[in-house]
Structure 1
Amino acid sequence: MTGESLIGNHTTGTAADGGEGAAGEVARVFAEAGVVGHLHARDLADDRQVALAADEQVVIASIVKVLLVLEFARQVVAGVLDPTERVVVRAEDRLGGWGVAGCADDVELSLRDLAYFAMSVSDNTAADVLLRRVGPDVLPLLATELGLERTRVVGGPRQLLETMLADVGARDGAEFARVFPGLDAERVRAMRVFDPEHTTSSTAREVTRLMALVWRDEAGPPSACGLVRELMRHQVFFTRLASGFPPGVEVAAKTGTLPGLHMEAGVVTYPDGGRYAVAVFAATRGLAARRIDVDLAIGRAARVAVDALRAAARD
């Protein structure tokens, strides 16, 4: 695992005491969990940062839904989309996973409820339907507008699923479900969804930049950024970033998961007003999608980084 460390001002690049210690402690957390990790954390007050392998390209999976919902919110504020517009999600729309994909019947809901499900339970079907209304070609343009030069968006949830089916030679989701468990790790990791050069990807540093832009109302109109922040506060998963922080500390975040890849990005807000954008990516040797030990390591690594930033601010 390669890495870098810095606690200092991103503009000047000057480091404060403790930077190497924080990155080293983060690296130890990852090593104890048996994962290859990438982390970036930034203090939104002064842009001090803690980084470990933060400029390496990584798969971001469902974290891209933050960009999707941001674009949705911007179009709502601009009057392009009506958030109360009703859509029907039918059987052929379902992609599997959480949310409306588990419904037995057609579901009618509003665009803003699609955004809610996409963010709160990472509903792939809701995100895919919403992407059709937002425009599938808009997200790469938004990333460019926001200065996210290392962020690449390759289609939406349906395109990623179709890529996975093609890579294993499956005709549909049912056949994929039968074939996938029998694949060895080498075959799985050769799939395009695991290659940052062939799927939606970014860097930990750019992901925290996106979070900072949203929290500073610099990613669009304040009301649009506010909607994204509110929806991120409704995420139901709490075993990753949130697990590292005590009660009273707010964590608004978005997860991303693929077999062997566990990630989360968000903003941690303390009662004293301190705000810290954090992005953590962990890759395991095995391919299990559920690893509570890895989730908890993500929380511990985030806490180490944020504690270092808070200590640096007090010095």
Structure 2
Amino acid sequence: MGRFGSRVGADASLPRRNLLIGGLALAAAACQNNAPLTASDSRPMKLDALEAEVGRIADRCRPGVLGVGLMNLENLETWLLNGERPFPMQSVAKLPLGAAVLAEMEAGHLRLDEVVQVQETDLSPPFSPVADAWPQRTQWTVRELLAEAVGQSDNTAADLLMRRVGGPGAITAWLVSERIEEVRLDRYARELQPQSVGLMPFRSAWRGEAAYLQAITAVPPAQQQAATARYMADPQDTATPRGMLNFLQKLDSGQLVSPASAQLLLTLLKQNTAGATRLRAGLPPNASLFHKSGTSRTIQGVNPATNDVGVFTLPNNRSYAIAVFLSGTSLDGVALDQIIAEIARAAVRAAG
């Protein structure tokens, strides 16, 4: 793909079950990424203007790389910028993790009231209220861990759930079985996060933000830079914008979990106020949104990952999946959030 985006459309034919946002809409038949698609009777998006606007934003991100995906969930009309490029997910990965946990629960392989014991060797890097509460608190239910992982982006909670359902490979295998092949989980947070900044796997002495930051600061700058470069080039623990739209569409249409589980996931996502200055800031006040953001630490002036993905519904009841990934930028956090908000505003204009 070149600098600008690609576009596809789809035939609307089946009733769409919008489980996460609600509202009435026409439906769309599922399609594969590169299948030939035809025009839909649904109102088309204004893709030329979107392409030009997002292209200008991408120029401002250089030398970083911007990836964007937007899909009309009525007819699966899709626009992509760097749609096939893998981007580091960071905490965006906790959204497919949450769906996988609920799918395992529905299959009868675990219970939400099941108690999980937290050992010292289970602790993971910040952000982690579960780690901060240890050893005063050592028992959590699966439901509580799910709330912490999905709702609060807790790394220890995510790692405990990941282990409980069979590890990162089991989650990726589940995604592939659901024909989601461009979203992959490969490592626990206690492995990924330290590696991305030049540290060895996490140790309990680094528990808490102050201790962990001190450990990072002790890593020589050249070693930090090399680790960050490896992390940004690593295909592990990544998603493409195309793959994330595929995941969001399947989740929204009820192909991955039941309506009750989807509603639980939505409730947990709404508890997370992180990322409020990203997609949420670019949408009209009366639009609905469920989303999951992800952010890496800025190392030696480079930010490997600032992301936000989700589904929004406009007052006209049209719903759209959106995925925004930024990697390798030298912009500060405020500027990065503003860029994602600008992309959301451009998406709303494209949707009309």
The separation in 2 between residues aligned to 1:109 and 1:223, in whole angstroms, is 22
Residue aligning to 1:298 = 340
Q: Write the deviation string for residues 40-95 of structure 1: whole angstroms up to 9, x where unpaired.
A: 01011111122111111222222121121111111222222110122243444322
- What are structure 2's unaligned runs of at least 5 residues? 11-30, 207-211
* Distance in 2 separating the partners of 1:181 and 1:265: 34
Distance in 2 (CA, whole Å) between partners of 1:17 and 1:271 is 16
Match of 2:325 in 1: 281
Name the TM-score, length of structure 1 as normaliser. 0.86
1:128 matched residue in structure 2: 159
Equivalent residue, structure 2, for 1:230: 267
What's the CA shift string for 1:233-276, capped at 9, x where partnerless?
A: 32211121111112221221111122311011111122332211
Instruction: Tell me which of 98, 103, 106 is aligned to 1:74.
Output: 103
Deviation at 1:97, TM superposition (A): 1.6
Alignment of 1:211-250 (within 5 A): 211-237=248-274, 238-250=276-288
- Matched residue SS, 1:6: strand
Cα shift readout 1:281-303 (whole Å, capped 9, x = no counterpart): 112433x8x60111121121122
Task: Assess if the C-alpha contact under 8 Å between 2:146 and 2:157 holds in 1.
Answer: yes
Stretches (4+) displaced over 6 A: none
Contact 1:232/1:254, CA 8 A, preserved across alignment: yes
Cross-structure match for 2:140: 109
Q: Is this contact kept in 2: 1:143–1:151, CA < 8 A?
A: yes
Structure 2 equivalent of residue 30 of structure 1: 58
Root-mean-square deviation (CA, aligned residues, Å) is 2.7
Number of equivalences: 305
**Cα distance change, pair 124–276 in 1 and its aligned pair in 2 (3 A):** same
Change (3 A) 1:78 1:296: same
**1:146-161 aligned within 5 A:** 146-161=178-193
| From 192, 217, 224, the counterpart of 1:178 | 217
Which residue among 239, 245, 252 is the counterpart of 1:208? 245
Query: Which residue identity lines up with residue 154 of structure 1 in the other structure?
Result: D
Q: Contact 1:88/1:106 (CA < 8 Å) preserved in 2?
A: no
Q: Matched residues in 2 for 1:82 and 1:235: separation? A: 23
Residue 271 to residue 182, structure 1, CA distance change in 2 (3 Å): same
1:194 to 1:292, Cα distance in 2 relative to 1, 3 A: same
CA gap 1:113/1:20 in 2 versus in 1, 3 angstroms = same
Instruction: Specify every segment of 5 or more residues in structure 1 that has no aligned partner in the other structure, as ranges.
Output: none
The amino acid that maps onto 2:71 is R
Q: What displacement does 1:96 show? A: 2.4
Query: Which structure has more helix as a fraction of its residues?
Result: 1
Partner deviation per Cα, 1:106-150 (whole Å, 9 max, x = no partner): 323211111111112211111011112111132021111121222
**Partner amino acid for 1:229?**
L
Residues 1:214 and 1:269: Cα distance change in structure 2 (over 3 Å):
same
Q: Distance in 1 between matches of 2:308 and 2:215?
A: 26
Alpha-carbon distance in structure 2 between the residues aligned to 1:37 and 1:194: 13
Equivalent residue number for residue 73 of structure 2: 44
CA distances 1:7-45 after superposition (whole Å, capped 9, x unpaired): 633754457684232112012123335542110010111
Aligned with residue 144 of structure 1, among 176, 192, 205:
176
SS at match of 2:218: helix
Structure 1 range deviating more: 173-182 or 61-70: 173-182
Identity of aligned residues (%): 24
Equivalent position to 2:115, from 82, 86, 96: 86
Cα shift at 1:205: 1.0
Separation (CA, whole Å) in 1 of partners of 2:313 and 2:270: 11
Give the partner amino acid of 2:293: T
| Contact 1:30–1:297 (CA under 8 A) maintained in structure 2 | no
Distance 1:229 1:208 in 2: 17
TM-score by length of 2: 0.77
Q: Deviations along 1:155-211, whole A, 9 cap, x unmatched?
A: 22123146447x5568854574233473477424333x32242x2112101101101
